[in-house]
């Protein structure tokens, strides 16, 4: 199992945000987590990526634990352990969070050269290949401010994928896209899962997008997973 | 012309105090902003008090305190060093607050995105945050730097002779206001050069957000 999250519990002050949440994702599988705003979707993603600490529960990516509860005591990965686990993890944020002072190419190569210590020429080659595969070959010298919403998102995907993560998380990937770009995004995500074997976890409230992209759909309400559907079951519920 | 040559005898001190104070206070300002934003409450609070004291009291008083006050308890820096010490501390408080507001204006998501990509805190601060903070704070830093040039005239308080002190001496001696006008002109030239330098740097680091 690529992602194994079990019994996640998280409260902010007296408000329970996650209540016994369990999610599994296999390599090459696309799993979507859907629910209303405030249901706890983003918090789940933030806990899985180590941006937030859950109060109880276990999260393991490729059998490496971000947190673990045993005998009522929750332990968390150290900074160094978390840094290693994050080599297997990528995240595409809703508002992309590209680095505005860098070009598209620099945005994509920076982690390769500075974190993974890849030689700059090799990093450039890798990044250009990745950007070209996402249709951004002509934009490598542009700054993020010169890109459309769809292009920014593809740069964010390239930036996350160039480090070859095993699990890629998407936070509301269609929130800023028009319908044509949503179709394109479905294709990109499906190919990342099928061709590269990346496990993908998406949070979204775009029903049609979720229907077209997912292998499995989980429903979250008030911090609890209330239902789970296969792609076929979900397709029978959500029609055009 | 004669007046100008005499007044320019003070230029070395003015420029010296300006440059040394700037070179010390800018990095010190970055440090102050980091301490002010520290998650350790005591550190943040102590830094807040440091900023309050240094921004809340006149720079002239601080120069006199460093030169006369500390000397009275046996801590002697010498005139130039006292001036630069007081200027550097005072301006570090202002720069610190400017950098703090710059750091806080950068969306938290960028640090989060960088940390998921595997960057360390130092890398995030140096490669992601600092370049953007510099760009965003340059206009405010430029204002402070221009003020610093003009504040150098406070060195008269500890008996140092800068442009203005020379101008004053000549004006009293010859009963004329011309030296003051010339001194004003020299300050304008200095601030013009600084303005142009900052404009050029702003153009270099400029990008749309």
Q: Do A93 and B113 count as a contact with CB atoms less than 8 A apart?
A: yes
The answer for B 66-95 residues in CB contact with A (under 8 A) is: none
Q: How far away is chain A from the Cα of B106, in angstroms, using its nearest Cα?
A: 10
Report the DSSP beta bridge partners of residue A21.
Answer: A8
The residues spanned by each domain of chain B are 2-208
Alpha-carbon distances of B108 from A51, B44, B95, B115, rounded to whole Å: 11, 19, 22, 11
**pLDDT, position B18:** 96
**pLDDT, position B209:** 67
**Is the backbone of residue A28 left (phi > 0), alpha (psi -120 to 50) or beta?**
left
By the CB < 8 Å criterion, does A43 face chain B?
no
Ranges of chain B with pLDDT below 50: none
The answer for A 185-214 residues in CB contact with B (under 8 A) is: none
**pLDDT, position A181:** 82
**pLDDT, position A176:** 76
**pLDDT, position A240:** 63
pTM listed for this prediction: 0.83
**Beta carbons of A163 and A112 less than 8 angstroms apart:** yes
What b/e sequence results for A145-166 when a residue is b if at least 16 CB atoms lie within 10 Å of its CB, and e otherwise? eebeebbbbbbbbbbbbbbebb
**pLDDT, position A47:** 94
Minimum Cα–Cα distance from A109: chain B residue: B117
Tell me the C-alpha distance between B74 and A101, whole Å: 50
Q: Do B115 and A111 count as a contact with CB atoms less than 8 A apart?
A: no
Q: Do A83 and B132 count as a contact with CB atoms less than 8 A apart?
A: no
Strand order in the sheet with A30-34: A89-92, A167-171, A199-204, A30-34, A216-221, A224-230
Hey, of B106, B109, B113, which one would you mutate to test binding to chain A, going by the most A CBs within 10 A of its CB? B113
Hey, of B105, B106, B117, B130, which one would you mutate to test binding to chain A, going by the most A CBs within 10 A of its CB? B117
Reported for B129-133, long-range contacts at CB under 8 A and 24+ positions apart, including other chains, are: B129/B103, B131/A101, B131/B205, B132/A100, B132/A101, B132/B102, B132/B106, B133/B99, B133/B102, B133/B103, B133/B105, B133/B106
Tell me the C-alpha distance between A23 and A90, whole Å: 17
Prediction ipTM score:
0.89
Q: Do A114 and B207 count as a contact with CB atoms less than 8 A apart?
A: no
Q: Which CATH superfamily is domain B2-208 in?
A: MetI-like (1.10.3720.10)
Hey, of A93, A114, A118, which one would you mutate to test binding to chain B, going by the most B CBs within 10 A of its CB? A114
Helix (H, G, I), strand (E, B) or coil at A87: helix
Ranges of chain A with pLDDT below 50: none
**pLDDT, position B76:** 85
By the CB < 8 Å criterion, does A148 face chain B?
no
Phi, psi for A58 (deg, rounded to 5): -125, 140
**Model confidence pLDDT, tens digit, residues A168-200:** 999 988 887 788 888 888 998 999 899 889 999
**Beta carbons of A219 and A39 less than 8 angstroms apart:** no
């Amino acid at each position: 199992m690529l992602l194994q999250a079990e019994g996640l519990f998280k409260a902010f002050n007296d408000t329970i945000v996650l209540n016994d949440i369990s999610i599994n994702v296999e390599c090459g599988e696309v799993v979507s987590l859907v629910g209303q705003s405030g249901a706890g979707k983003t918090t789940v993603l933030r806990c899985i990526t180590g941006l937030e600490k859950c109060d109880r529960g276990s999260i393991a990516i490729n059998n490496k634990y971000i947190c673990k509860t045993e005998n009522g005591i929750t332990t968390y990965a150290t900074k160094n352990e978390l840094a290693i686990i994050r080599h297997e993890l990528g995240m595409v944020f809703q508002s992309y969070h590209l680095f505005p002072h860098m070009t598209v190419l620099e945005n994509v190569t920076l982690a390769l050269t500075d974190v993974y210590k890849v030689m700059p020429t090799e990093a450039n080659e890798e990044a250009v290949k990745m950007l070209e595969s996402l249709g951004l070959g002509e934009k490598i010298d542009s700054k993020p401010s010169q890109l459309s919403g769809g292009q920014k998102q593809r740069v964010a995907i390239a930036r996350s994928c160039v480090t070859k993560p095993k699990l890629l998380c998407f936070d509301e990937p269609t929130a800023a896209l028009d319908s044509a770009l949503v179709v394109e995004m479905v294709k990109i995500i499906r190919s990342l899962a099928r061709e590269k074997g990346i496990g993908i976890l998406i949070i979204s409230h775009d029903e049609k997008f979720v229907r077209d992209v997912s292998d499995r759909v989980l429903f979250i309400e008030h911090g609890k997973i209330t239902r789970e559907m296969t792609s076929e079951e979900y397709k029978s519920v959500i029609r055009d | 012309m004669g007046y100008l040559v005499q007044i320019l005898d003070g230029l070395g001190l003015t420029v010296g105090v300006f440059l040394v104070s700037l070179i010390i206070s800018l990095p010190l300002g970055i440090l102050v902003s980091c301490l002010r934003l520290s998650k350790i409450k005591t550190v943040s609070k102590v830094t807040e008090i440091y900023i309050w004291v240094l921004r809340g009291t006149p720079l002239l008083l601080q120069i006199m305190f460093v030169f006369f006050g500390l000397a009275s308890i046996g801590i002697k820096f010498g005139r130039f060093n006292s001036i630069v010490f007081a200027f550097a501390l005072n301006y570090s408080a202002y720069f610190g607050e400017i950098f703090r507001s710059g750091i806080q204006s950068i969306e938290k998501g960028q640090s989060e995105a960088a940390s998921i990509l595997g960057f360390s805190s130092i890398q995030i601060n140096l490669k992601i945050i600092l370049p953007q903070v510099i760009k965003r704070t340059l206009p405010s830093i430029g204002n402070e730097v221009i003020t610093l040039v003009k504040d150098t005239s406070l060195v008269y308080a500890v008996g140092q002779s800068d442009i203005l002190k020379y101008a004053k001496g000549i004006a009293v001696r010859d009963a004329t206001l011309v030296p003051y006008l010339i001194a004003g002109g020299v300050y304008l030239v200095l601030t013009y050069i600084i303005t142009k330098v900052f404009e050029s740097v702003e153009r270099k680091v400029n990008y749309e957000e």
